[in-house]
Amino acid sequence: MHSNQPDIGYVPTPQDLLEDVLRWVKVGADDVVYDLGCGDGRVAIAAAEKFGARGVGIDIDPDRIKEATENAKIAAVSDRVIFRQANLFNSNFQEATVIFIYLLPQLNLRLKPQLLEQLKPGTRIVSRDFDMGEWTPDAVLHLTHPEEECTFYFWSIPSPVK
């Protein structure tokens, strides 16, 4: 399970849906958008290119990291986007203000304690197609694209209970 093999196949989110979702969670120039399991880098690149944010993509697959880095160069956002080859479960996301995930349900659940521990109150989390079990989302968005339908779940990290 902890090899350098991805735990999930790569399925990209259509570009226009991605931009709608980034708009929905109000990504702006002050944000640091982390894409966990970043694939070709499209989330981090769109956040930088369309919304002026900084982007960080993490993927375990070195080929995807190479492709994402190339795509950032092509989009001329290499100064605001970085891609790291790493295992998500050994990664630090503390600086993130927005987290994007498109992982399997069991991976979301495995990641949840890490997110709650590392992220600051107010950090936005968006998950495509899969929720996080008992953690009720703050909002749910259904989007339809000619090729596919997607559901996006949204959470905001709560302030600690005093």
Task: Report pLDDT digits (tens) over 109-134.
Answer: 999 999 999 999 999 999 999 999 99
- Local confidence band at 10 (pLDDT 50, 70, 90 cut-offs): low
Cβ-contact 38, 82 below 8 angstroms: no
- DSSP β-bridge partners for residue 84: 58
CA nearest 130: which of 107, 105, 106? 105
The share of the chain scoring above pLDDT 70, in percent, equals 92
Residues 6+ apart with CB under 8 A from 140: 151, 152, 153, 154
The pLDDT assigned to 1 comes to 39
- Local confidence band at 9 (pLDDT 50, 70, 90 cut-offs): low
**Straight-line distance from the first to the last Cα atom of the chain, in angstroms, rounded to the nearest whole number:** 37
